[in-house]
């Protein structure tokens, strides 16, 4: 969120609880361990990404803004 100029105060809706939001992603390799989620903020939609078991959060613009979305996932 910080890399897009947002904070938790910009969050509008989430499919997981505040407690679940505090769980850290596993950034090693192996099996997927994180929860499925979608978080909508004022400007973006956040979701989990996984490549070879390593997990992190990706996002796209919530509304059309003319900016392309970079590749998500492994690379």
Per-residue model confidence (pLDDT) at position 53: 76
For the entire predicted model, the pTM comes to: 0.82
19: left (phi over 0), alpha (psi -120 to 50) or beta: alpha
Q: What is the C-alpha separation between 62 and 34, in angstroms, rounded?
A: 23
Q: Where are the alpha helices (DSSP H) in the chain?
A: 18-21
Q: What is the C-alpha separation between 75 and 70, in angstroms, rounded?
A: 11
Residues 47-68: tens digit of each pLDDT: 998 888 788 889 999 999 999 9
Question: Which residues share a beta bridge with 45?
Answer: 40, 60
Residues 11-50: tens digit of each pLDDT: 999 999 988 888 776 667 777 778 899 999 999 999 998 8
């Amino acid at each position: 969120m910080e890399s897009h100029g947002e904070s938790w105060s910009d969050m509008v809706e989430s499919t997981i609880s505040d407690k679940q939001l505090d769980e850290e992603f596993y950034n090693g390799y192996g099996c997927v361990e994180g929860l499925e989620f979608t978080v909508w903020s004022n400007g973006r939609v956040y979701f989990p990404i996984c490549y070879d078991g390593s997990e992190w959060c990706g996002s796209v613009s919530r509304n059309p803004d003319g900016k392309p979305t970079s590749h998500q996932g492994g690379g």
